[in-house]
Structure 1
Amino acid sequence: METSALPRPGARRVRRVAKGSVTEGAARAGLTARGVIHLLVGVLALRIAFGDGTRQADRSGALAALGDEPFGAVLLWALGIGLCGMAVWQLSEAVWGATGPDGRKPRKRLAALVSCAFYVCVAWSVLCFAAGSGGGSRSSDAQSRDLTARAMDMPAGRWMVGAAGIGIVVAGVWIGVQALRRRYHDELERGAMSPRTRHLVDVTGLGGGVARALVFAVAGVFVVRAAVEHRPERTKGLDDTLRSFADTPFGPWLLALVAAGFVLFGLFSFALARWRRV
């Protein structure tokens, strides 16, 4: 029998520790932090829909709103640390594999590594904002326009921007399909939930997933249009993408529905923090 491919006892112990209570705590803290951001963005977008929004409906606006609350600085530091936990969890899944039968496949590990890099950047911006150094204060719209402009200045930049836009659209469709198929059931400890709780979690998972899918797809369309017209200013960040829904024939009611979906996704993230298998 070939034994060289089998993990050594020491490696198994390291893996158990890495996937143990520390990583579990980091994952649940990260999911909670993600929920807070989506919840705040949804509330800000709802205020815009009803004509009472003065802040950007994106991460920068959410951080500013949180900072204005009592003990805002403490809340911001807690949020940044929670997002660090999200990055640690994703790194552990990239190294050791995720739960589930296909959790150790290369595509899952690569996705976890990309997610880790993303949350490192998000956590850094939140911690810089909490420290008062200005990080995270730029709107998503300004960041998107600057990134698109720099990309278009590169050789074959328009093609790269167009491909990125198509990728964002595809990601939006994938998110929507996963939500409609309720694939998150595979990640939840559904046996520990009452029937009523399972129903409520489905409402938040489905509604939140569809809203995020719609925003991703529309944002991707704006990126593709910017590439076709060679106009980086056509790119829209989260705030402008959300506001664009109010410019449709459905008016602010469509924006309100999408904003409510972001609130639902925030609540869904809280449910994942409680019942997700880690």
Structure 2
Amino acid sequence: MTERACILDTAPDAVGGALPAPAAPAVSSPESAAPAAPRRDMPRERLRTAGASALSDVELLAILLGFGLPGHDVFEVARTLLAQFGSLRAMLDAPPEEFEALRGIGPAKAAMLQAVTELARRALAQALDDKPLVDSPGAVEDYLRLLIGGRPHEVFVCLFLDARHRLIRLEESSRGSLTRMAVYPREIVRRALTLNAASLIVAHNHPSGAVQPSASDRRLTRVLRETLALVEVQLIDHLVIGTRDTFSFARHGWS
């Protein structure tokens, strides 16, 4: 019997729109401009005295970039990066080739920015190790936002769990376009049985950033729950991941 795929189509039901553009940085008058050296040292001093949360994105990025390349002010490089990509998240998700045309960013700094993102992903992944995932839903959602929240196309992932709700494996089950993706529930059930999973969490992203589930998202959730129940595997949750927000079907009563 040929299996029918569940087609996720987020375009008709998506709520919201593009993320707001970042506010333009304030421009200081020549009289109030600080000398170059103190200006560079100020964010580091504030970091030591007030903590990293007190700094702006530009200041944190300037600290990360260091003193920039010769002939380029590190604060201007940081502002240019954020303006170019629209957000800190989009910048960290960008492939290396997108940095090549930007003045003040060489291969070494592009590699460093990618390394920062990967370190964050691994740190969040380690927080999930050997812990029941139902006890740390916030960590799961943070990890998934970093993993797939900024992808330019739809991705469907499965977190297969053992009887104690510990992670066995995370796998990408399907990949689609900006608004459509085919998901095969029978293949997910087959994989759960192969891995001897007792339960699983599934998630997919909405590249638009809006996390309100579409009609096809709701239909897929019903089909998955019913199909998995036939083989005594529990679907713990279906998460819709945006760049900033997450929708949980379980928290919303599976409606």
> Normalising TM by the smaller chain, what interval?
under 0.3
Point out the structure with the larger helix share. 1
Larger Rg: 2
